[in-house]
Structure 1
Amino acid sequence: MSVRGAGRPPVVAGWVRTRLRSAPGAAVAFAVLVAVTACLAAALPLAVDRYGDAGLRRALEVAGPSRTTVQLFATDDGMLVPQEIQEADLRWDAVRGAYTELLGPAGRSLPLDRDQSAYGVRTTDPVPVADPVELARPSALPPQLHLVAQNDLAGHSRLRAGRLPKAPDGTGATAPSVEAAVTAETAGKLNIAVGSVLRVPGPRRAPLTVRVTGVVDPLAPREAYWSTSPVLRSPHLRTVPDDPARSVYWVGALLLPPDAAPAILATGLPERYWNLAPDASALPAHDLPRLTSAVASLEAGPLLQQARAAVSPGVEADTALDEVFGEYGALRTAIGSLVAVAAFGTGTVAAVVLLMAGGLAADRRRAELTLLRARGASLRGLAARLLAETAVVAVPAAALGLTAALLLIPGARPAYAVAAAGAVAVVACAALPLRAVAAHRAVRVHAAREDVAATRPSRRRTVAELTLVAVAVGAVVALRTRGVSDGEEASGDALVSLAPVLVGMIAALVLVRLHPLPLRALAGPAGRLRGVVGPLSLARASRASGSAVLPLLALLTALTTAAFGGSVLTGVADARDDAALLSVGADARLEGVPELPPGLDERVRRAPGVEDVTAVAVAQYAQPRDGRLAVPVAAVDPAGYAALARHTDIGAFDADRLVAPADAGVLPALGSPEVAERYGTRPFRMGLGDGVFVSVRIVEVRERTPAVTGQEFLVVDRSGVPGGSARPTTLLVTGDRPDGHALREAADGDARVQLRAEEHARYADSPLQSGAERVYAAAVAAGAGYAVLALLLTLLRAAPGRAALLARLRTMGLTRAQGRRLLVLESLPQALLAAAGGTVTAWAAIRLLSPGIDLTTIAVSASSSPAGRAVLRTDPVSLLVPALAVLALAVGIAAAQAWWSGRAGSVRELRAGDAR
């Protein structure tokens, strides 16, 4: 076949057409398998990019513009720079020109939202404004106001009253008055209206008169234009430093027209600023290292030096965007390593199935290929024709799968999807030629019988298997040593992702070697049995193919990945449940400020889903008499609170130990380990506020308690607490899914309502988490599907021989029931081997990885959780269900084949030349 006649056209095309026409069903099935596999492989990187980008956008949204905007500012020292130069720098053309100089280099390194980026001039510190007296004055202190001239106020606001401020040309530092606008929120809280005249004092000159000409509503108040400095849109209360009375005053902003910026010089030392807002929709998560480098360059690198050279040597930068990127990157790395476990496992199973499909095709055509080799076909020519035959089917199918993935999940990086689909096509094309070349290296007429119980593996196979086992064991030991002995988390290492595959490979090679031993041991006793089904089924199992490593590796890897994935998802759900329960303390929580109104507990009891209500008086800042750190104190009813602690399994205790003495002396207390270590068992005094003091002594120690979150707390009997300190501030509600709407109606705005279910949902409300969980679940489901397909291919490979055997045995008197039992018992050894091996392998992989995997980040989107570190634990359901499913499927297929064979008859199976 490797030689062509002179002038004759190539015969490969004719070969391909003939072979495809002879088995169109097999070609179509192979094309469907390749297309689905290519689609799944191409969809994985696209889905990872998609949820990664969405997670980065959510991280920026949660952080807010005040943290994510890069703020550049320049303040000139008024003592060293003449006023004329300062005034020239504050002219709007100069400020706008500097913005243009900064925007170009920064925008090339970091995608910026030009609409939300802003620039202008503002006071360095707010200025107290005592005139007019009508301004809001909490604690009898006048408000302090920023004067801000920011670009494009008209384009980012809607006029509610009056008109926008204007400034005459040439307004300078000596201008006696300017116009300004305020936001509606500022006007309402500070008692400012259109027409108000404010006098802003300044050093060494008469006060600057500011006339309010308009009230505006921000168009996008949460975006960077208004929220980089939130005081622009919303005033806030500030506490006077070091004031025992904790007096407060308002801090707000007056919005000046841009041309009035030089007038800010009259109020003190102004600063120019340029706020560069990143464009969240254009920030790719996969390019996080480059983005982090760009932010570092803007903060203290080449880009900052360029800004100083272009604008002023005094330009400084401030942003927390690098911290946001770092937090997101740590979360993405932790989640990505877990997703990679499922991806590697499913990818291995899919590759094994493709190889098995090629092996099945090679076995089906063994006689044909043997005959061709006997007639002089070369290995190279045979491999080339088989490669062309499979490529004609596999390459278009892979392209179709790639196209489907790109249409279903449009992504920014199709190159990775193309590479994944190409890898599938390469494996699919190479499977049949490689298997054929391996099976027909030597020219022979009759193939030797493969017998798992009698065949002894060759030395080459033994060396290859030992090499693989040594490499896998070495990798596993390295992973275990690095993850446990060195105390490092192995979550970011590729060994974590490969661990299930490595363990499955070791188990498959070991089990294939051990599998013949029990069959040989049972061969003698089975031969002395009276019945025919048992000995015959054992003999058939012993005559199974000796090369069962691939099917077993597929099943073990799929079972391990499924069990590992189920344990991860169960661990994540449990961690979220625990964190939500500890955050709320019960199924629902109502907190009043400063206390709850009378009768609220009775209204809450009538709400749907409420079974019990426990009232608690919490003093968050109770002060020990010795002046040490404040400790939250919860005053409770011992019996009801003990029942709540038992119900929630949060710090259960004996209620009798907490009952206050009749003489109202020292109150027994339940304390946290930190407080108990600080005070021991001696009595000490606690101030609960309003001059109320109680003496307490710690008699019980618990790490957690429902009423108070945190590491420090005390719990005492409420009947021993005098005065108003015993009035309830918190209601802890238990029940079967309490109705949040009904609870909020009952509270009527007098209490803040927290629901455990809502807290649980909040932990899962992250595109990065939810996307990773969906990809993980899809990968596990795909792995299970490929495992089923591997099992079907294994049984399909033996189907013709089984059908012929049943046909012959029926002519000898074998009943249909005996035929079913025969096929079921014949399939049990390998199914039991896969199920038991898969369970043990999955357990070993989970035990191996659990010290190095922290589920906290994927569970609660943070490095820490109220419930502590969430670790990976074995889930019995995830271990046993997949293994039992394999057994049930093997038995079901065998029974179905026996039924179909009996229904179809035995004529075709008994034709000459059909039986093997």
Structure 2
Amino acid sequence: MVGVVRAVAPWVRTRLRTAPVPAVALFVLVGITAFLCAAFPRAVDAYEGEGLRHELGVAVADQSALRFTAAPEPAYDPADPALRKAVSPREMTERQRRIVRTLPEPLRADPRESSYGVRTQRPMRGQAPGLTELDGGTPAFTLAAPAGLAEHAAVRSGRLPKPRAAAPYDPAAEAVVTSATAKALGIRVGTVVRVPRGGGEPLAVAVTGIVEPVRPAGSYWSVQPVLRTPTLLYTDGMPPAPYWHGTLLLAPEAAPALLALENEAEPYWDVAVDPGGFGAHDLDAARRAVAAVENGPVLSELREAVSPELQVISGLAEIFEEYAKLRGAIGPVVSVAAFGVGGVIGVVLLTAGGLAASRRRSELALLRARGGSMPGTAGRLLAEVAVPAVPAAVAGGTLAVLLVPEGRLWPAVLATVLVTVVACVALPLRAVLAHRRPRPSGGRDDVVRARPSRRRTVAELTLLVLAVAAVVAVRRRGTADGAEQGVDQLVSAAPVLLGVVAALALVRLYPLPLRLVARPVARRRGAIGFLALTRAGRAPATTVLPLLALLLALVTTAFGGSVLAGVEGARDRAAVLSVGADARVESAGALPKGLAETVRKLPGVTGVVEVYRETDLSLRDGDDAHGVTLLAAEPAAYARLARSTGLGGFPAKSLRRPDAGPLPVIVSPGAAERLGSGPRTIGPLSAALTVRVAAVRELTPGLSEGDFVLVDAAALTGPKAATTLLVSGGSVAGGPLRAAVREADRAQEARVALRSEERAAFAESPVQTGAERVYAVAVAAAAGYAVLALLLSLLQAAPERIALLARLRTMGLTRRQGRRLLVLENLPGSVLAGAGGVLVGWAVVLVLSPGVDLSRLAHASGGTALSRVPVELTVDAWSLLLPGAGVVVLAAGVAAVQAWLTTRRSSTTELRVGDSR
């Protein structure tokens, strides 16, 4: 009789069926973590690529284009058939195609905005009846025969020039001009402009039409702005006299007629570079490509294919250089957030694996006692974890790639793989470490009794040395030093290393306060406090991982909040300094009467300060090269504004005019040094003032740069109408204010500036806004994982606490006392994490502040106001204190909920026969 062997149930399937909740929780955790880790590098690539395209898009057209010219030889015959063929439309188009095909990647031509043709090298005077003549004489003209004129211009009157072939010495030609040129130079349809021609009669150019550019801001019209808009030129005499300079646009077929002009004509190809062809990591390749085109093998190849005299001019190298500095300054700051969040995520994943291993300690010990090998047990646990973790990681990484389509693929894949590996090996690794050798049951392994091993001591000292080295590197080199060569990993990891060292130090110091507090509590009548402290001291020594996760999260949140607060504060400060108030209305001359009263009645306006401003005030010290600005205002109103804006506040009485004696003034440091401490006479003879320095202030409302002298407006001789209005009001709207100014100022000389608009202009680059968004998400993610780490640590000890509470209830412990016990038991650890996070976060900000450069993150390009405002890490109270307090409150709340749920159950439900808890 053949025996029937019953198949052994598969381990993984059995575990997933009997415990589906942990598997689902692991699936969610790994999926969200993989999504965040894969999306982070792609988000950085996305905003960096957008920033590069933005820099190219906003650059001046003649800087962002490749401008090729084929200068004529020193002596040439305009009637040479080969020369005429070289400037024919067909040949010019073919050369344009060769240039475009030869451009190396990632340089790509934008065919819609590129232009080519033939033009005169220098402007030439033209004669025609009715032309507008300035002091410098008759207008000068550039004659150009661009290709594609019909596609880039709309005819407003007349017609386009006829496309007929011309000879070099044809007596006449047809052209069109833009509406701006026609208006400024007095040209009409039918005007004939005569342009001198070497050795013959002038070329008569008949204007057949007036056109309007289709895309006037595009490169077709903006690489050479004179094609679109006339400019002023000046004669060489003294004083220089102005005269107009415009352009006559001929048909491409008329290009041979330009060869015989007095100023030689030259073929040109203005290739507009397509910004859409650039990605985040095309910068280095683009810089190499530009170098090859400007003075390298590509230029040599083009000279062989197009013209031996081909020259190229471009500002792309400067654009790329400036963008590299911007990205290099912001990248290291963002990498700090990446290291912080990455450290928190790794510790949380390890904590989750440790929680699973501790919950299954008895099961794994029994399996080892029955002969299970460590490799076999680890393999089973690895397969068990991999079933939910691998699909979750793949799904999270795929979702990140789909939602953030721009960016390199390999960093996202690498991040997903790292998350998968950490999530899968956490449980098997912890199980192997805990059960590699038999351990006696009942032994204590808590934070009070546990003694760190020598290996742990060596590891902690190594981390301490790395942390000190990172701090020294940050303070000596800074985040911006050598940023173009890549991110300094040691500098970026400084906050994380400090957090790790602080967590290890707190774990070592944790027993000391417990013992100190336990002694007086033990003398009290109640047993709840002493029991809670004793239970807190019996917490497993493995609580270092949750504490490490909490501290890293709190440090990352504090550091990130400080970065954002420093950037926001610098922008606010610079905007206030630039405008002087919430809004400013100023004019070169006197403002219209009644404008101040009109502005006061506008919605949202809370105050208006009238200021008389006069530049180039003479201090009568013989140094007129350094100008000083005179500001005159009503002392009380101006003092209130100075205090509210934080720009050199002062008491109003220090500025009021006295009955006798010199006039008190408030001056800048430079003016104070020139005036001295005694009375001085300043100003012109007709309005001289005898003044003495009452106070020195570096800043003052209404003046963003330069030295100043502030006086009481009542002290000025003669009526002085206000030239500037400083408007206060947090809700001042630009539309009504500008409408009121336009209504009062018919000459349209007054200018309006708003603090909100000035502040918004500081963050003009997508690199700035993208980095800020990434930082905000990193701070939020760190806070979320901190909450998760706290919950995992509380869940780890939940079964033992529930069983203990059930036993104590059988001994007479009331429900209220049981709830107090669980809450008090959680307080020492949560207070340790919260207070430690606050202190470490504060210390990290103070220690690293000198080496963290936030200037480029606050503003992509510098300015007068920005250069006077320091941009540095600022301790943000909300991001520092709120997360720490939240840890304590959340821990107490979870403990209270656990106690409430436990006390509602029967004790017999928790105390089952054979339960080892």
One-letter code aligned to 1:737: S
Give the alignment partner of residue 54 of structure 1, picking from 47, 50, 54. 50
- 1:249 match: 243
Cα 1:74–1:868, aligned 2, differ >3 Å: closer, same or farther? farther
- 1:96 match: 93
3-state SS, counterpart of residue 164 of structure 2: coil
- 1:168 match: 164
- Asked whether the equivalents of residues 176 and 250 of structure 2 are also in contact (C-alpha less than 8 Å), the reply is yes
- Asked whether the equivalents of residues 167 and 257 of structure 1 are also in contact (C-alpha less than 8 Å), the reply is yes
- 2:855 match: 856
- Return the offset for 1:636: 1.8
- Asked whether the equivalents of residues 154 and 213 of structure 2 are also in contact (C-alpha less than 8 Å), the reply is yes
One-letter code aligned to 1:343: A
3-state SS, counterpart of residue 40 of structure 2: helix
- Return the offset for 1:472: 2.8
- Asked whether the equivalents of residues 357 and 431 of structure 2 are also in contact (C-alpha less than 8 Å), the reply is yes
- 2:792 match: 793
- Return the offset for 1:870: 0.7
Cα 1:696–1:60, aligned 2, differ >3 Å: closer, same or farther? farther
Q: Confirm whether residue 297 of structure 1 aligns to residue 292 of structure 2.
A: yes
- 1:508 match: 503
Written as runs of structure 1 = structure 2, the 5 A alignment for 1:390-405 is 390-405=385-400
Q: Confirm whether residue 263 of structure 1 aligns to residue 262 of structure 2.
A: no
- Asked whether the equivalents of residues 290 and 317 of structure 2 are also in contact (C-alpha less than 8 Å), the reply is yes
Q: Confirm whether residue 108 of structure 1 aligns to residue 105 of structure 2.
A: yes
Structure 2, unmatched stretches of 5+, are 743-747
- Asked whether the equivalents of residues 598 and 740 of structure 2 are also in contact (C-alpha less than 8 Å), the reply is yes
Give the alignment partner of residue 119 of structure 1, picking from 107, 116, 133. 116
- Return the offset for 1:744: 1.0
- Return the offset for 1:242: 7.3
Cα 1:292–1:587, aligned 2, differ >3 Å: closer, same or farther? same
Aligned CA-pair RMSD: 3.1
- Return the offset for 1:432: 0.8
- Asked whether the equivalents of residues 491 and 852 of structure 1 are also in contact (C-alpha less than 8 Å), the reply is no
3-state SS, counterpart of residue 495 of structure 1: helix
Q: Deviations over 1:494-524 (max 9, x none)?
A: 2332111100110011111111223344445
- 1:877 match: 878
- Return the offset for 1:22: 1.3
- Return the offset for 1:268: 0.6
- Structure 1, 365-374 or 143-152: larger mean CA deviation: 143-152
Q: Deviations over 1:380-413 (max 9, x none)?
A: 1111111111111111011111122122222242
- Structure 1, 647-656 or 284-293: larger mean CA deviation: 647-656
Structure 1, unmatched stretches of 5+, are 1-7
Q: Deviations over 1:172-208 (max 9, x none)?
A: 3322221111222222333222222222234443332
3-state SS, counterpart of residue 651 of structure 1: coil
TM-score of the two chains, using structure 2 as the length reference: 0.92
3-state SS, counterpart of residue 556 of structure 1: helix
- Asked whether the equivalents of residues 331 and 483 of structure 2 are also in contact (C-alpha less than 8 Å), the reply is no
Cα distance in structure 2, aligned partners of 1:274 and 1:679: 59
- 2:465 match: 470
Give the alignment partner of residue 381 of structure 1, picking from 376, 380, 397. 376
- Asked whether the equivalents of residues 175 and 250 of structure 2 are also in contact (C-alpha less than 8 Å), the reply is yes
Cα 1:126–1:645, aligned 2, differ >3 Å: closer, same or farther? farther
- Structure 1, 651-660 or 450-459: larger mean CA deviation: 651-660
- Structure 1, 654-663 or 28-37: larger mean CA deviation: 654-663
Q: Deviations over 1:812-859 (max 9, x none)?
A: 111122111111111111111111211111112111221112222212
Written as runs of structure 1 = structure 2, the 5 A alignment for 1:63-78 is 63-78=59-74
- 1:32 match: 28
- 2:39 match: 43
- Return the offset for 1:492: 4.9
- Return the offset for 1:288: 1.1
Q: Deviations over 1:220-278 (max 9, x none)?
A: 2212111112222222345556755x743333222111122232231413232221211
One-letter code aligned to 2:874: R
One-letter code aligned to 2:899: A
Give the alignment partner of residue 142 of structure 1, picking from 138, 141, 156. 138
3-state SS, counterpart of residue 738 of structure 2: helix
- Return the offset for 1:485: 14
3-state SS, counterpart of residue 203 of structure 2: strand
Q: Confirm whether residue 913 of structure 1 aligns to residue 914 of structure 2.
A: yes
- 1:211 match: 206
Give the alignment partner of residue 494 of structure 1, picking from 489, 496, 499. 489
- 2:282 match: 287
Q: Confirm whether residue 740 of structure 1 aligns to residue 734 of structure 2.
A: yes
- Asked whether the equivalents of residues 115 and 270 of structure 2 are also in contact (C-alpha less than 8 Å), the reply is yes
Cα 1:302–1:629, aligned 2, differ >3 Å: closer, same or farther? farther
- 2:892 match: 891
Cα 1:579–1:95, aligned 2, differ >3 Å: closer, same or farther? same
- Return the offset for 1:737: 2.0
3-state SS, counterpart of residue 547 of structure 1: helix
Q: Deviations over 1:636-675 (max 9, x none)?
A: 2242434433332223346666667999x99876544345
Cα distance in structure 2, aligned partners of 1:226 and 1:179: 20
- 2:803 match: 804
Cα distance in structure 2, aligned partners of 1:128 and 1:274: 25
Q: Deviations over 1:610-651 (max 9, x none)?
A: 222223343456688858436263442242434433332223
- 1:322 match: 317
- Asked whether the equivalents of residues 581 and 755 of structure 2 are also in contact (C-alpha less than 8 Å), the reply is yes
Cα distance in structure 2, aligned partners of 1:80 and 1:712: 59
- Asked whether the equivalents of residues 634 and 714 of structure 1 are also in contact (C-alpha less than 8 Å), the reply is yes
- Return the offset for 1:428: 0.6
- Return the offset for 1:21: 0.9
- Structure 1, 314-323 or 577-586: larger mean CA deviation: 314-323
3-state SS, counterpart of residue 553 of structure 2: helix
- 1:4 match: none
- 1:3 match: none
- Return the offset for 1:743: 0.8
Cα distance in structure 1, aligned partners of 2:758 and 2:342: 36
- Return the offset for 1:281: 1.4
Cα 1:717–1:294, aligned 2, differ >3 Å: closer, same or farther? farther
Cα distance in structure 2, aligned partners of 1:434 and 1:58: 48
Residue correspondences, number:
900
TM-score of the two chains, using structure 1 as the length reference: 0.92
- Return the offset for 1:677: 4.8
One-letter code aligned to 1:270: A
Give the alignment partner of residue 226 of structure 1, picking from 221, 229, 233. 221
- Return the offset for 1:161: 1.8
One-letter code aligned to 2:902: S
- Structure 1, 230-239 or 214-223: larger mean CA deviation: 230-239
Give the alignment partner of residue 557 of structure 1, picking from 546, 552, 558. 552
- 1:651 match: 648
- 2:725 match: 731
Give the alignment partner of residue 578 of structure 1, picking from 573, 579, 603. 573
Cα 1:654–1:468, aligned 2, differ >3 Å: closer, same or farther? closer
One-letter code aligned to 2:543: A
- 1:766 match: 765
- Return the offset for 1:750: 4.7
Cα distance in structure 2, aligned partners of 1:616 and 1:346: 51
Written as runs of structure 1 = structure 2, the 5 A alignment for 1:591-606 is 591-606=586-601
- Percent identity reads 50
- Asked whether the equivalents of residues 582 and 754 of structure 2 are also in contact (C-alpha less than 8 Å), the reply is yes
- Asked whether the equivalents of residues 638 and 656 of structure 1 are also in contact (C-alpha less than 8 Å), the reply is no
- Return the offset for 1:782: 0.9
- Structure 1, 735-744 or 693-702: larger mean CA deviation: 693-702
Cα distance in structure 1, aligned partners of 2:788 and 2:417: 22
Cα distance in structure 1, aligned partners of 2:672 and 2:200: 61
One-letter code aligned to 1:805: L
- 2:128 match: 131
Cα distance in structure 1, aligned partners of 2:480 and 2:96: 54
Cα distance in structure 2, aligned partners of 1:50 and 1:614: 46
- 2:609 match: 614
